């Protein structure tokens, strides 16, 4: 007959296994209890894609991938020899138009004085009425010539400004402080207009999107502060702010009819992160703790 009594040594061993397993389970559930107001996501970063409006050949590149860039810094310059020649011509045309306008204005002063003199002579019957009228007519015609000269100066300046704008587009500038993540061109490449030449990361514009169950929505609102934890700094909490709460659920069953099904609905929440110490990086896994959720 098989004995129902256990070996004492074996019994002690089994009890130890049971106690250890129970402790692990209790620790696990205790940890879950402490983190029942936390959800996980992946940190992402805002990107800027830059490129020229004009096409052309890449003449110079002023940075390499991974470099820190400052606002206004030139990143890529395209060959602008043709535009520079057009600008020189436009500048010369402006000078010519200005000198012509000045000459025409001086001529107008002379003609107006002559018209007044002819009117005075007409009053004294020294000249005929037709001579006086002719002088006045010539002065009025000269006024139109002066106005046309002024218009040519305005047009020439507008043309120069347009060329200057095109020249500015031949240099790809950095719009804000950033990091050069991807450089898509090399010296000598011929670019089409509006082609992207680089992807810039904005390291201070980090965020993480998490998904929370529907019952949490009443406890979360835009502007709420949250705590964020990452594996790289397990003892440090980072500041975050609720920036957006999606209005449409995700992972929703086709027909939501029961309470059990409703709690399966989740809503996306975007958290804007504070990265003052420059410790956070895109791609890190992050746990977001919502203090208002108990």
Q: What is the pLDDT of residue 251?
A: 63
Q: Residue 259: is its pLDDT beyond 90?
A: no
CB atoms within 10 A of CB 1: 3
Distance CA 107, CA 31 (A): 94
In angstroms, the Cα distances linking 215 to 228, 249, 263 are 21, 12, 7
Is residue 11 domain-resident? no
Question: Using DSSP, how many helices (H) and how many strands (E) does the chain show?
Answer: 4, 12
How many domains are there within the chain? 3
Q: What is the pLDDT of residue 260?
A: 54
Is residue 270 domain-resident? yes
My answer on whether 108 and 233 are in the same domain is no
Structure tokens at 126: 């020294």
**DSSP category for residue 65:** T
Q: What is the pLDDT of residue 253?
A: 46
CATH number at residue 55: 2.40.50.100
Query: What are the tens digits of pLDDT across the range 141-186?
Result: 999 999 999 999 999 999 999 999 999 989 999 999 999 999 999 9
Distance CA 282, CA 203 (A): 8
Give the pLDDT mean for 72-93.
93
Query: What are the tens digits of pLDDT across the range 146-155?
Result: 999 999 999 9
Query: What are the tens digits of pLDDT across the range 108-129?
Result: 999 999 899 989 888 888 888 8
Is residue 18 domain-resident? no
My answer on whether 260 and 237 are in the same domain is yes
Q: What is the pLDDT of residue 38?
A: 87
My answer on whether 56 and 185 are in the same domain is yes
Is residue 275 domain-resident? yes
Q: What is the pLDDT of residue 252?
A: 53
My answer on whether 145 and 253 are in the same domain is no
Query: What are the tens digits of pLDDT across the range 191-237?
Result: 998 899 999 999 888 999 999 988 898 899 999 999 999 999 989 99
My answer on whether 184 and 144 are in the same domain is no
Is residue 25 domain-resident? no
Query: What are the tens digits of pLDDT across the range 14-58?
Result: 444 333 333 333 333 333 333 578 899 999 999 999 999 888 999
Residue 85 belongs to domain spanning: 81-169
Burial, 269: exposed, middle or buried (Cβ in 10 Å; 0-12, 13-18, 19+)? buried
At residue 263 the predicted structure's pLDDT band, cuts being 50, 70 and 90, is low
Query: What are the tens digits of pLDDT across the range 124-136?
Result: 888 888 888 999 9
My answer on whether 115 and 230 are in the same domain is no
Q: Residue 10: is its pLDDT beyond 90?
A: no
My answer on whether 59 and 178 are in the same domain is yes
- Helical ranges in the chain per DSSP H: 8-34, 81-123, 129-169, 259-262
Give the residue from 104, 78, 97 showing the smallest Cα distance to 170: 78
Is residue 113 domain-resident? yes
Is-contact 201 179, C-beta < 8 A? yes
């Amino acid at each position: 007959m098989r004995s129902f009594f256990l070996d004492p040594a074996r019994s002690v061993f089994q009890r130890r296994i049971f106690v250890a397993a129970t402790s692990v389970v209790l620790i696990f559930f205790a940890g879950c209890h402490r983190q029942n107001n936390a959800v996980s996501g992946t940190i992402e970063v805002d990107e800027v894609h830059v490129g020229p409006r004009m096409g052309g050949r890449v003449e110079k590149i002023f940075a390499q991938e991974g470099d820190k860039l400052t606002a206004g810094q030139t990143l890529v310059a395209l060959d602008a020899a043709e535009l520079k020649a057009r600008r020189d011509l436009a500048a010369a045309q402006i000078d010519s138009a200005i000198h012509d306008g000045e000459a025409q204005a001086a001529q107008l002063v002379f003609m107006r004085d002559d018209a007044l003199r002819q009117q005075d002579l007409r009053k004294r019957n020294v000249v005929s009425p037709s001579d006086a009228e002719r002088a006045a007519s010539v002065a009025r015609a000269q006024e139109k010539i002066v106005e046309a000269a002024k218009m040519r100066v305005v047009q020439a300046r507008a043309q120069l400004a347009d060329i200057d704008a095109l020249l500015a587009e031949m240099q790809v500038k950095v719009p804000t402080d950033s990091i050069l993540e991807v450089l898509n061109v090399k010296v000598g490449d011929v670019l089409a207009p509006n082609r992207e030449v680089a992807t810039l990361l904005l390291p201070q514009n980090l965020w993480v999107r998490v998904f929370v169950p529907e019952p949490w929505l009443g406890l979360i609102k835009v502007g709420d502060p949250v705590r964020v934890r990452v594996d790289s700094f397990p003892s440090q909490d980072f500041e975050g702010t609720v920036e957006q709460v999606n209005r449409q659920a995700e992972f929703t069953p086709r027909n939501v009819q029961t309470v059990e099904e409703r709690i399966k609905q989740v809503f996306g929440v975007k958290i804007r992160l504070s990265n003052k110490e420059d410790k956070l990086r895109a791609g890190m896994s992050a746990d977001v703790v919502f203090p208002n959720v108990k």
